[in-house]
Structure formats: C-alpha cells, structure tokens
Amino acid sequence: MNGYNFAYLDEQTKRMIRRAILKAVAIPGHQVPFASREMPLPYGWGTGGIQVTASILGREDVLKVIDQGADDTTNAVSIRRFFAATAGVQTTTRTADASVIQTRHRIPEAPLTEQQILVYQVPQPEPLYRLEPSRAETTRMHALAEYGAMHVKLYEDIARLGQVAISYDYPVMVNGRYLTSPSPIPAFDNPKLHRMPALQLFGAGREKRIYAIPPYTDVRSLDFEDHPFRPHRADAACALCGSRQSYLDEVVTDNRGGRMFVCSDTDHCASRRAAGCEGVAA
C-alpha cells in the first residue's frame, strides 16, 4: 500500500464523488455530472465503476467484482486485485459475503440485502442517445419528462418485429420520473432492479455521469399495456448445475457446432453444485 492513498483516489476526489453520489441518491435515476478522473485502466473497462467503488470503500468492506456475472474474467480479476493492492480490503467471490459488489453487465442471481451496495460500470448513461444526438436536448427532455420518443422506438419494434427488440440495456422509469439506462445488463435482470433492498450506484467514467437507484425504489421497464415487458431467457438448463431459473451464457465448445449453456453467474452456479445440483455435463 506504500505510495498510495487508501483506495487509490485522493481524499478530495473521493469527497467530490461522494457529493455527486449523495445528489444522485436524492434524485433517483437522475444523471449527476462529476469530474471523472484518469484511472490506470482504459475507458470502457470500468473507470466509472472503479471511481464510485473507491469513494465508498471502507477498511471493513468486503469486495466482490463480477464481469458478465463471472468472478474469474480479466476485468473482474484485475479490478479485484487493484483494490486488494491499493486499499488492502478483503475480497471475495461469494455474493452473500460481499458488502460492495462492482459489476459489469449483470446483477447477481442471489437476492441482495440492505447491507450491500451494487456498483455498476456504465458505458453510456444516456438512455435517449440513440434517438437524440444532442446532449442539450436530452437534458431538456429529462427536465420536462418528455419520453414519447422512447415509446416510439418500442412502437416501431412491435410494428416491424411483433415484439420489443431490446435484449440488454432495456430502458426503465425510475421512481415514476426519470427514464434511466440500467447499464447493459440483460433485460432478464431488469425485474431485479425493482424495489431492490440494496443501494444501486451507476458510474460512467468516460461520460462523467453518476446516477443511483436507492433501496426499495420503484423501477419499471417501459412497455405497452397490451405488450407487457417480458424478460428473455434461453430455453435450456445450465449444463453444470441444471438451473432453469438463472441467466445462461451460450458457450461454443468445438468447431463442429457443439455448444452448451451455463450459468452466467459463476458464484451462483458453484454454490448450487456445492449443494449437490447437477447438470448434464457435470
């Protein structure tokens, strides 16, 4: 830990980020600008999430980092090691043991509690950016709660394809007020955002925005009354643990079209197997 302040960032920077976080918690779903710092990893690797984590981390915290649900991928391993080295905090891969979970593109399968904070890495915080290129205009649309354009996108999908064709980063209304990007989590995870007991913080480093969903906040996925939101899941069981409830990754196993479905949440899969559950490939 020599040569570093606790958790890498200097205290003034942490204070600035905490102020942004407090404001974000006070206005659920509203994007708060903050002075994002250069971090020792490239944009797109979680510079926003890592700054939020650094600002909220205490010496007693237990950190878990996941990337697409997995604890053992490059991004997850390097960020976990980063905080082990710069903050000396305890790390874990077990969802239940963690007090801070930094995530990229997934929400853990195990239900989170009031004692936990979930930190998302966000590439694009603006849910309207594909529809309206001007930041000034999207800010105005948020201020006036003019979200008709987003529904036009859903309308077009249903008119052309018979269903909404958004499988990840599915836009949500937070607390009935702000249209918000849930970060590129699969639409499958959207229902978990709704009234989650844990605090959810979202950090976008390149775009310099922080937003939050406080515990027990209403989060609704956009839909139509006659075309209700339907989360999608591959119609298969995990090849390792046999789960038919968890979100699955499709893994190509050879060059002859062989493939298998496995849980994207590695901790969930491992604990099920430890409890004796078995899939076809186990």
Partner 1 sequence: MSDPTLLSARGLRLSFGAIPALAGVDLDLWPGEVLAVVGESGSGKTTLLNVLSGRVRPDAGVVWYRDPDGALHDVHAMEAPLLRRLHRSDWGFVHQDPRQSLRMGVSAGGNVGERLMAAGARHYGRIRASALDWLAEVEIDPARIDDLPRIFSGGMLQRLQVARTLATHPRLVFMDEPTGGLDVSVQARLLDLIRRLVARHGLAVVLVTHDLAVARLLAQRIVVMRRGLAVETGLTDQVLEDPQHPYTQLLVSSVLQA
Q: Which residues bind partner 1 (CB under 8 A)?
A: 143-146, 148-149, 151-152, 155-156, 158-160, 223-227
> Residue by residue, what is the 3-state secondary structure of the chain?
CCCCECCECCHHHHHHHHHHHHHHHHCCCCCEECCCCCCCCCCCCCHHHHHHHHHHCCCCCEEEEEECCECCCHHHHHHHHHHHHHCCCEECCCHHHCCEEEEECCCCCCCCCCCCEEEEECCCCCCCCCCCCCHHHHHHHHHCCCCHHHHHHHHHHHHHHCCCCCCECCCEEECCCEEECCCCCEHHHHHHHCCCCCEEEEEECCCCEEEEECCCCCEEECCECCECCCCCCCCCCCCCCCCCCCCEEEEECCCCCCEEEEECCHHHHHHHHHCCCCCCCC
User: What's the min distance (Å) between Cβ of 158 and partner 1?
Assistant: 6
Residues with catalytic function: 29, 238, 241, 263, 269
The Cα angle at residue 140 between residues 139 and 144, in degrees rounded to 5: 120
User: Quick one: 160 or 256, whose CB is closer to partner 1?
Assistant: 160
CA dist list (Å): 114 to 94, 99, 185, 247? 16, 10, 21, 23
> For residue 141, which of 30, 34, 22, 35 has the smallest C-alpha distance?
30
> For residue 125, which of 36, 9, 238, 254 has the smallest C-alpha distance?
36
